[in-house]
A = this chain, B = another copy of it.
Amino acid sequence: MVRFRSFSLTAFLLTLFAANISAQQKKPLRFTDAHTLTITGKAWDSEPFYHRLDTARYAALSGTLKRLATHSAGLAISFKTNSSTISAKWQTSPKRPSDNMTGIAYEGLDLYILQDARWQYAGVARPSTHDISETTIVENMADGEKTCLLFLPTYDEILCLEIGIDAEASIVPNTNPFRKNILIYGSSIVQGASASRPGLAYPAKLSRQTGYHFINMGFSGNAKMETAVADMIAPLPMDAFILDCVPNPSAEEVLERTANMVNTIRRYHPNVPIIAIQSVAREKGNFDQHIARRIKLKDQYFRQEIEKLQKDDDNLYLIEAEGLLGDDQEGTADGIHPNDLGFERMLQKIRPTILEIFAKYGI
């Protein structure tokens, strides 16, 4: 009810805003509430529609984690249309992008269209300086039906979203184009910092490249393997888990919490593969000896804990940090968060290993 009321107000504001810029529009568009289409990237079919999780169900979760779960990282709207133009009106929270991300990645939209059996980039929706934005994503497209996937902001909450098409065109929900469910739990790096577009966050890239449904459970600065998070994640209906969660916890927390994280998942999923990844965030320690020591210690503790668990667990794997970002230290935006070059290098290393493991399990 609250959601509906808030959406109506938003719709009213959007109408005013749209009226204001209608003079610029080349031809009339028809807008469809994205609620009527399919959303992908969610662990399960929960409300609110644009939140990654219904955090009201998880009383033990901290307020910060609940807020981060409202960010639409990894979510995408799946639809088909024969329109020559695709446009968007959307509203996000009043937050402004952080200095290590683009506004497009933080609170914009990123469209891909299936072509020659590949998801091809079609256009971004660049956010305005206000919280309500309206823009053309792509226009002048050839005739014919397009199978579309519109990735939502990685670091903001979508309050409402409408997709615009040519007035005479049609738009219909598509099925989720990705198969199986693989949860990636991690830090800001999983959530999407510092990819330049929402669809270049690494779980989203992995989904498009492999066809698997990777679920983005990145919680910026807060992936500390807390018991409440382990309890939340473990029962989810997953075919595999990826734990990329060394960057945020302290070395002591890595030592104390890794076993509980893995064991909690194991209680619900005795035999699914769990793939643990050491910390990708290391360039800040290139000259800073304290940070270098801290990262090394965390990776060492993580390996030690995983190796202990592996003695009784044949379905637990470790991917080492070595070479994840290449060797020229040009793979991050700020010494911590991979840029698009860093993410591509990371995927070149982890993708073959992940696919090999999945093949072994018939996933």
Contact = CB atoms under 8 A, between A and B. Distances in A.
A283 interface: yes
A71 interface: no
A129 B237 CA distance: 42
- Which of A120, A290, A344 has the most chain B CB within a 10 Å cutoff? A344
B104 A333 contact: yes
Interface string A316-343: 0000000000001111111100011111
A42 interface: no
A127 interface: yes
A99 B121 contact: no
B126 A334 contact: yes
A103 B100 contact: yes
Interface string A197-210: 10010000100000
A169 interface: no
Given A291-B140, A340-B339, A341-B341, A120 B200 contact: no
Contacts of A332: 121, 196
B287 A334 contact: no
Contacts of A341: 339-341, 343-344
A257 B291 CA distance: 53
Contact of A99 (B122, B127, B283, B330): B127
Query: How many identical chains are in the complex?
Result: 2
B113 A99 contact: no
Contact of A334 (B97, B104, B288, B331): B104
| Residue with the highest number of chain B CB atoms closer than 10 Å, among A127, A138, A339 | A339
B330 A286 contact: no
B124 A335 contact: yes
Contacts of A283: 121
Nearest to A293: B140
Nearest to A129: B96
Contacts of A269: none
Nearest to A142: B289
A19 B80 CA distance: 58
Contact of A333 (B196, B335, B344): B196
A97 B127 CA distance: 12
A264 interface: no
A289 B140 CA distance: 6
A144 B200 CA distance: 40
A196 B197 contact: no
A123 interface: yes
A139 interface: yes
Contacts of A334: 104, 124, 126, 196-197
Which are the 7 A-B pairs with shortest beta-carbon distances? A99-B103, A196-B333, A340-B341, A121-B329, A196-B339, A339-B340, A140-B290
7 contacts: A97-B103, A100-B103, A100-B196, A104-B334, A142-B287, A142-B289, A200-B330
